[in-house]
Every structure is written in structure tokens, then in C-alpha cells.
Structure 1
Amino acid sequence: MGEKMALILQLLLTNRQIGIKNEEIVNYLSERGFKSHRKEVGQLVHNLNDFFTFFIGYPLIHGKPKKGYVIEKEYYEDGELQLLVDAILFNKDASAKEKEALLEKLLSFSSVYQKERLSMMPLLETEQPFSLILNLTTILHAIDEHKNITFHYIDYAISNSHPIEITAKNGNGKTKEDYNVSPYRIYLDNNHYYLIGYFSKRKTNLSMYRIDRMRYVRRIGGIYVDIQDQYDLEGFITKRFHMFASGQEVALTFRFKGVLLREIVSRFGNTIHVNKLKEDWYQASVDHVLMNDGLKMWFLMQGANVYVNEPVALKEEIEQDLKKALSLYQK
């Protein structure tokens, strides 16, 4: 009975007809080696709806007079599905095969019409020397079970004018290549996954590793060192991943060209005070900004479209960095 129900659902999801009648479903099942009849089809659809009502809160299949059975409401809203599809397609570390398998699972309850409405970029034939899915799965299980993990951590060297992977030899396991770590948290930043945990060679600090640079990840025995309570884990994440997260609060004043207006609002919020100057220039001021290297780097990236007035210390640091950069090009 389960196979018949799966075939009926597949037919309704993939068929372009507005409705599928009982007789058509009976014939469809017969072509695939399953005998059936109108009454059984009705019962199978009823069973499917019982499942979906329990699973998603409403019956998926509706019977329409003279039209037959139809799926009127998708499991995902189009916007929800587009968001999830893009999260898979634009992941930097998953291989093409992993993305394809994930998309197949994700779209399994979507009709042919909904799939066609999605904006889908083609999958590039990319391979990875590791499995992101396997790494994540192994680490998540280890965190849940309070188990240590071991792995090799890669670095890069240049060979024949191209970068190649080399194994870092600063481990703490049986060999110099083995990193044995008590894992605490996985964090996603800039489309890369990071592991935060305890590494015995750095007993006074939490350690962080890019998961796409981890090889041969597996769970191991040994004492799981749980010292999370000794650290402000959220504070650690904030300082390491958010460039405006630490530093002295200052009142910031700067000029910028109109082309940066949207970026300025996005960066500093819509409470920023802005006055129009001559031509296409604006004067901006914002209080309680954290002054640090991240803030300086952001201004440097804007090039000739921005000029910092205050604080003077930040202005002078930017001037010095620009002079150093210019000197490299003038040699």
C-alpha cells in the first residue's frame, strides 16, 4: 500500500493536468504493476491526507468535481523554497553532488509548477577533497554526545605556480598531523562553517577551525574537556566574526558620495544624521560607533568615495595606511 501511495503522490506532483481522475490513477498504477480500483484509490488518497494533516497541519490533496484530484497548496511557499534553494546553491564548500542530493530532497514535495517558478542557477561541476555534509554530521554528533574529534587541518603551499594543500603539523594527537579537539559549537560566517572548541595546546583560549579545511574528521574516545562555562562563548563569536564588535565607542563624522548612500544606511542604520553638501557629497554623523580595525578597513575599501573627518585618530590611521599602499605602487 505504501508504494501505491508514493506513486499517487508522485503522479500528482509531476503531472501537468489540472486534475487527475480516479480512472487515470488506476491506469497509472496498473502500468507500474499494481492492481487497483476506484474505491481503493479514494482510500489511498484519504490515507495520504491523514499523513499530511498530521505532518504539516492540513490535507495536501483535494478532490474536485469533474476534475479529479489536485494539489492546491504547496508544502513550501515559493519564497521559503527560493531561500532554501539559494542557501544550497550558493554554499561555497559543498560539492556539486552534495548540492544535487540536497536539492532533490528539498524539492521532493514540490509540484512541477512550483519548481518552474523558482529562479535556479545551474550547478557547476565542482568537486571538493572532503565532504562538507560528512564533516558537519560527524561534528554535530560529537557535540551532542560530548565526544572528542580528531582531524587533519590543512594549509597551503605553492607548487608549480599553483596553490596545493599541505597538512598542518601542529597537532596534539598521536602524530603531529592529528588535531584532537573537544567540540562546542558550529558557526556559519560568510558562507563558511567554523568549529569552536577546546584544543589542549591553547588551554587559555578557545580555538576555532574552518570546517572546509578539516580532513579525515572522526569521533574518538578520551576525556571530553568541557570548559565552556569559563568563557563568554557568545562574546567570543561576536569578537571573532563581527568586525564592528569591539573597540572604544566614538562619535563618527565623515563625508561620502551619493553612490554609497544605500551602503551607508545598511552599515550604520537609518538613525544616522545626514546633510547634503555640494554636488553629490553628503556629510554624515553617527554616535556610539566602535572604533577598531574593522571600521578602518571598511572605510579603506570605499576608496575615494568617502572621507573621515572625526575622530582624528581614525583619520590619521587611514592616511598612514593609504600612504603605505601608495608607496608599494610607486617603487
Structure 2
Amino acid sequence: MAKATDMLDLYFRFMSGERFTKAQIGEIIGKKSERTVQRYIASLNDFFDTRQETEHLRIVMNHTDRKYEMTRLENETFDATQILAILKILISTRGLSEEEIHLIINNLTNHITEENQRIIEKAIQSELVHYEPMNHGEPLLNKIWDINLLIQQNKTIKFEYFNAMNQGRIHTIKPMYITFSELYFYLVGVNDKEQVLIFRIDRIQDYTKAEDKFKEPNSPYFREGALKQRIYFMYGGEWKKVSFEFNGGIIESVLDRFPTARLLKKDYANNRFVVEIEVIGDGILMWLLSQGARVKVLSPNSLKEKHIAEVKKIMANYE
């Protein structure tokens, strides 16, 4: 009977929002061992699973302070395999502050079993120890959410934007969407001259709702999926086709890197290819330079000349 009383005591205390360490639970149920505490928690969770009115409840450890608490599961939850994949991708982007990363990890893993929590914790432990967020160090989750709400409300916004030289300037734009690319979150919007502008969200300060009304031009920038397939390093500019020779490298990596890629010539025996891609702006130049002698730009001529000029500058550094 004592065990049933202890279980009820624990149940009501968790229901009221109290949180306990494993040692504190051991004291509550009569100085029991950690193994016994674990059995009590497992028994409560098993009980929750047997009744429809409690199947959404779960007692889990919050890894922030290693205290147990009662959580309410949604009808549809991530399983451990999905959570591990999401966290691996998220950590590798380095796009959020260390505090935000730990918050997300805690919120996601709170809804899975302790065994799976331990598996995921072990899988990402080394990456978290060596996690280096971006130098701006600014928390972004709330800002991203706020700006996204303004976008969905079809509002115009006004904000101060600081460039790489930390020089501030006031902008008023019609925000179109938020995207992530190459380490940073970006806001894409249009100004009163129907110009498409791209802003790093961490450099946006003091954003407020504005009353200005802007016309939305017919631009490929407003189709986020199409933009992400064609823009590199978030450089703005004209939409164009680029063709280049690719020799001696892994062609699969090129096709994976550029979703719009087409192979105009294929010589698998000699590992020589002519590739055509669609791009926006000249951000592609950075990738071309990273490929060294494996790449030769064919067209357009303007990009070809820029590529040659950059190669000459690199050569000059060694003279």
C-alpha cells in the first residue's frame, strides 16, 4: 500500500508542476535507491500509456538541470531518428547561439524516452563541446519569429541595418521571406523602387511595423525555392545561365551542389564534362575559384573575364 501512496504522491506533485532530481524523488518515496526511483518513473509512464486521458503525459528529465518534470506530448511527435537527424543538421549550420541550440535540443528530446535521450546526447556530445556559433553572437529565434509574423500579416517594416563596417542605415521594405544560406539567416524584401534587397537578420536592429505600401514586382526572388536553387553566398544580381568545363573532379558533387545543373557534354571515360547552371548574381564566382584548375568558365563572357581577373590577382600574390 505504501508504494501506491508514494506513486499517487509523486503523480499529484508532478501534475502541480513540481520538478525533482532523482535524489529528491528517492527522498519523497522513502529514501529509495536510484534504481527504484527509475522503476517508479517507468511505472507512472506505463500507467499514462494505458489510459486515453493520460496518454499525452510523460515524466522526463530536463537535461538543462537534470530534474524530472511532467510534459504534455502533442498528438504527433518526432521520433528519435528524426530528432537526431534534425539536430545534426542544425548544429552543423552554426546559425544559432549556443544558448538557443541547447534550448532546442532540450525541447525536442524532452518528448522521447530516457534511453533515446542518452543515445542522442552521446551522438552530439562532441559537436556541442566544440560548438562555435557565428561571431555576432546574437540570439535570433525571437527576431526570426517576429519578422515572419509581419511577413504573414503582409506588413511593411522599418529597421536600422548595420553593414560589415558597422555603419547603420534606415531601411523601409516589404519583407517577402526569411531564408538560411551559408551560415546566416537572411531577410529578402523589396523597397519603394521595386528593388529586391537581401539583409542578414543578425544585422537588423529596431524593426517596427510601417504604414508604407509597396508594389510587388514580378521577380524570381519572390519564389523562395527557385531562389535557393540559383543564388550562392546570397549575392544579388541578374538571373543568368553559366556554362563551364569540369575536369578531373567528382561530377556528382557538382550536380548535388547545383539543382539546376545540366550536363551538355559527358565524357565519363576521361572524367570531362561541360555543365550549364542557372544562377543569380556573381556569388557563383566564389565556388568557381574554389575548384582551382578543375574548372574553366565558358559563358557568359562577363563572368569568364571576372574569373580570369581573380585568377591573375591570386597569381600576383605569389610574385
TM-score category (smaller protein) = 0.5 to 0.7
Task: Report the equivalent of 1:196.
Answer: 188
In the alignment, the residues of structure 1 paired with residue 228 and residue 255 of structure 2 have an alpha-carbon distance, to the nearest angstrom, of 23
CA 1:306/1:209 → structure 2, altered by over 3 Å: closer, same or farther?
closer
For structure 1, the residue ranges without an aligned partner over 5 or more in a row are 16-25, 61-73, 158-165, 172-178
- Look up the equivalent residue of 2:94 and give its one-letter code: K
Task: Report the equivalent of 1:45.
Answer: 48
Write the mapping of 1:140-159 to structure 2, written as runs, cut at 5 A: 140-157=148-165
3-state DSSP of counterpart to 1:225 = coil
Shift of the alpha carbon at 1:136?
A: 1.0
The one of 272, 285, 301 aligned to 2:274: 285
Number of corresponding residues: 265
In the alignment, the residues of structure 2 paired with residue 285 and residue 78 of structure 1 have an alpha-carbon distance, to the nearest angstrom, of 43
Task: Report the equivalent of 2:247.
Answer: 256
In the alignment, the residues of structure 2 paired with residue 44 and residue 125 of structure 1 have an alpha-carbon distance, to the nearest angstrom, of 42
Indicate if the aligned counterparts of 2:241 and 2:300 stay in contact, CA closer than 8 A.
Answer: no
- Look up the equivalent residue of 2:215 and give its one-letter code: I
Shift of the alpha carbon at 1:191?
A: 3.7
Task: Report the equivalent of 2:141.
Answer: 133
Task: Report the equivalent of 1:266.
Answer: 256
Task: Report the equivalent of 1:299.
Answer: 288
Task: Report the equivalent of 1:187.
Answer: 179
> Under a length normalisation based on structure 1, what TM-score does the superposition of the two structures give?
0.60
Indicate if the aligned counterparts of 2:262 and 2:277 stay in contact, CA closer than 8 A.
Answer: no
In the alignment, the residues of structure 2 paired with residue 135 and residue 238 of structure 1 have an alpha-carbon distance, to the nearest angstrom, of 25
Shift of the alpha carbon at 1:271?
A: 7.2
Task: Report the equivalent of 2:106.
Answer: 104
Task: Report the equivalent of 1:228.
Answer: 216
Percentage of identical aligned residues: 16
Task: Report the equivalent of 1:327.
Answer: 316
CA 1:255/1:147 → structure 2, altered by over 3 Å: closer, same or farther?
closer
3-state DSSP of counterpart to 2:213 = coil
Shift of the alpha carbon at 1:6?
A: 8.7
Task: Report the equivalent of 1:246.
Answer: 239
In the alignment, the residues of structure 2 paired with residue 316 and residue 85 of structure 1 have an alpha-carbon distance, to the nearest angstrom, of 42
Task: Report the equivalent of 1:63.
Answer: none
In the alignment, the residues of structure 2 paired with residue 129 and residue 296 of structure 1 have an alpha-carbon distance, to the nearest angstrom, of 28
Shift of the alpha carbon at 1:42?
A: 9.6
CA 1:284/1:144 → structure 2, altered by over 3 Å: closer, same or farther?
closer
In the alignment, the residues of structure 2 paired with residue 312 and residue 45 of structure 1 have an alpha-carbon distance, to the nearest angstrom, of 65
Indicate if the aligned counterparts of 2:80 and 2:112 stay in contact, CA closer than 8 A.
Answer: no
- Look up the equivalent residue of 2:176 and give its one-letter code: Y
**RMSD of aligned residue pairs (Cα, Å):** 4.6
In the alignment, the residues of structure 2 paired with residue 185 and residue 229 of structure 1 have an alpha-carbon distance, to the nearest angstrom, of 15
CA 1:111/1:307 → structure 2, altered by over 3 Å: closer, same or farther?
same
In the alignment, the residues of structure 2 paired with residue 282 and residue 44 of structure 1 have an alpha-carbon distance, to the nearest angstrom, of 62
Shift of the alpha carbon at 1:77?
A: 3.2
Indicate if the aligned counterparts of 1:130 and 1:215 stay in contact, CA closer than 8 A.
Answer: no
In the alignment, the residues of structure 2 paired with residue 193 and residue 6 of structure 1 have an alpha-carbon distance, to the nearest angstrom, of 42
CA 1:99/1:249 → structure 2, altered by over 3 Å: closer, same or farther?
closer
